[in-house]
Amino acid sequence: MTERSNARSEEDETTYFSFDLRRHRELPVEDTCCVTGEEVPASFCRFPDYHRGTMLVMSRKATIANLRDGTTIVKFKEVLVKRHGQKILKEYVA
């Protein structure tokens, strides 16, 4: 095996992500900010809510405020607890 083909084979192994269509699916994005309730036509900060089968979104203003404070994930988890109770946090690893 040449050096180039060996490198290619290692690259393929590190970039392969298994995807099972029966278990994984793209979640629809909610259309309102989970923090403020305002309509969010386009979002760039999302977090899954597996119980509802949707992606939580934040408005631009809420996202910037939470990014500055370093509390974005914390805020999403607070919303999940309000929606589903404290037990929901056991389902989220990080």
DSSP-derived pairing of the beta strands 54-57 and 29-33: parallel
Q: State pTM to two decimals.
A: 0.70
Helix ranges (H only) for 16-71 are: 60-69
Indicate the SS3 state at residue 48. Answer: strand
Residue 16 reports pLDDT greater than 50: no
- Residue 59: CB atoms within 10 A of its CB come to 20
Per-residue model confidence (pLDDT) at position 62: 94
Q: Sort residue 14 into left (φ over 0), alpha (ψ -120 to 50) or beta.
A: alpha
pLDDT in tens, 61-82: 999 999 999 999 999 999 999 9
CA angle 30, 36, 70 (to 5 degrees): 95
